[in-house]
Structures are given as C-alpha cells and as structure tokens.
C-alpha cells in the first residue's frame, strides 16, 4: 500500500465549508445533533435527580425553567430532535433502497419539514 503524503493545511481543509457537499453537511449535522441529544439526556437525568431532594429543589427547578434562556435551550433540543429524527428517517429509507438516487432532494425535503416543525414549536413557546 502506497503512503500518501499529507499536503500542508490538509487538516484545515476539513473545516473549510467550500470543500463540503450537502451529503457531508447531512453527516456532520446528524453527528452534532446526536451528540447534543446525548448530552441533553445526561443533563436531564441530573436535573431529575435534583428534584428528588425535596420541595426546595423543585421550586428552584421551576424558577430555572421559567428563565428565557432555558426556553431557548429547550427550543434547541426540539430542533435537534426534529433534525436528527428526520435525517435518520432519510438514512433508513435509503438503507431500504427507497430514494437512493434522490439523496439531495430527500435531505432538503426532510429538513424543510423539520424547519416547519421547529417554527411551529417556536411560535407555541414564545408566541404567548
């Protein structure tokens, strides 16, 4: 097997968006949302553990969730769920041989549906 020398700056090109196609962005987006949801799960379990400490902890939790920054965080979790979920459906359909030649169109379509769902929840959360 032949060794391929690394060109200077090759690692930096990985982060340059000009060298990424839509499939790469779908892959990166799926990984980022998956990691974010995993982090959220751990934080959620920690918060639930705090609630078992009594009424004072519960009152503190309620004060925290009424904070506008917390609502923005909740919206980010909702966005991650929809983006990760719809991208996962696209991947599953492709795995079953459905829409294999239409990856780009499927990704755009599913992300449009995810965007509409996110907007719906944003209006429900902040529209009151």
State the average pLDDT over residues 42-55: 84
pLDDT of residue 1: 46
Query: How far is residue 22's CA from residue 81's CA, in Å, rounded to a whole number?
Result: 20
Q: Name the CATH topology of 22-126.
A: 3 helical TM bundles of succinate and fumarate reductases (1.20.1300)
Give per-residue pLDDT as tens, 80-94. 999 999 999 999 999
DSSP string for 45-92: HHHHHHHTT-HHHHHHHHHHHTSHHHHHHHHHHHHHHHHHHHHHHHHH
State the average pLDDT over residues 94-120: 92
Q: Is the pLDDT of residue 17 over 80?
A: no
Give the predicted TM-score (pTM) of the model.
0.79
Domain boundaries, the chain: 22-126
């Amino acid at each position: 097997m032949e060794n391929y020398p690394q060109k200077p700056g090759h690692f930096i090109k990985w982060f340059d968006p000009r060298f990424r196609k839509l499939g790469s962005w779908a892959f990166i987006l799926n990984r980022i949302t998956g990691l974010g949801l995993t982090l959220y799960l751990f934080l959620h379990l920690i918060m639930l553990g705090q609630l078992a400490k009594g009424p004072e902890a519960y009152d503190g939790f309620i004060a925290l969730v009424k904070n506008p920054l917390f609502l923005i965080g909740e919206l980010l979790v909702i966005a991650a769920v929809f983006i990760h979920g719809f991208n996962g459906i696209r991947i599953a359909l492709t795995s079953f041989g459905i829409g294999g030649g239409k990856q780009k169109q499927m990704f755009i379509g599913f992300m449009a549906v995810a965007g509409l769902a996110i907007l719906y929840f944003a209006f429900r959360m902040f529209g009151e």
